[in-house]
Amino acid sequence: MIRYGSAMVMILLTGFTGISVEAGERSMYPKSAFNFTWIKSHSRPCKPVDLLGTWRLLTYDSPYRFKNPRAPYLQPHQLFQFTSDGGMKSAHSPVPIQEDPAQVFARIPSDMAFSLDRQGLVSVQAHGTAETKEMWQCVAITRDRHDGEHHPAMKRGDILMKLVGANGETMFMRQLRKDPA
């Protein structure tokens, strides 16, 4: 069963260019798929042209245990859609989403909106409200990175989104790749 929506986490985001690597951040992600040093030198803040479209989750990472381990944002299969009119939709599933994303999103009500500033900061709100529900730092990958077996671990055009908590800590990171459909 596909679950829809977005995690409604109240946060305060500290701004940065690219993905910052604070002293304790590397130790928080000892087995992380994210190589922060490489990312910092091969990314830039997202621009509107980077974010618009349909995206599939490739990987996510969080050092925190969330209250509800079955929460939709922890599902391994996720789709996101960002539209030019500022709309945002997401779909989450424990099994691969085989259906055409356009059909999936056609069934989801448009109840979320986003805005993007010049530093790549994505603010997510419920439609018709000014209250920010989530804030993500978004960076676009500017160069392919291959893992040890020469598979593309990150491709140019992938985006990384970093949710930062009220105390400045990284709560969640996700890597998204544009859906080819």
- pLDDT score of 32 more than 60: no
Residue 3 has a pLDDT of 40
Amino acid code (one letter) for 86: G
Tally Cβ neighbours within 10 Å of residue 78.
22
pLDDT of 7 strictly over 50: no
pLDDT, tens digit, 9 for 90 and up, residues 133-173:
888 889 999 988 876 665 568 889 999 998 866 676 777 88
pLDDT on residue 40: 83
Average confidence (pLDDT) over 36-59: 89
The CA R_g of the chain, rounded to the nearest whole Å, is 16
Of 1.10.8, 2.40.128, 1.10.287, 1.20.120, the CATH number of 3-178 is: 2.40.128
In b/e form, how buried is each residue of 125-163, taking b as 16+ CB within 10 angstroms? beeeeeebbbbbbbbbbeeeeeeeeeeebbeeebbbbbb
Q: Considering only CA atoms, which of 94, 27, 39 is closest in space to residue 63?
A: 27
d(CA 4, CA 6): 7
Query: pLDDT tens across 56-107, in order?
Result: 999 887 766 666 666 777 888 999 999 999 999 999 998 999 999 999 999 9
Output the pLDDT for position 16: 30
Q: Residue 167 has what pLDDT?
A: 73
* Max intra-chain CA distance, the chain: 48
Q: Which residues contact 159 (CB under 8 A, 6 or more apart)?
A: 46, 50, 51, 55, 138, 139, 140, 141, 175, 176
More confident residue, 98 or 31: 98
Centre a 10 Å sphere on the Cβ of residue 41 and count the other Cβ atoms it contains: 10
Q: Which pTM was predicted?
A: 0.76
What distance in Å separates the CA atoms of residue 55 and residue 158, rounded to the nearest whole number?
9
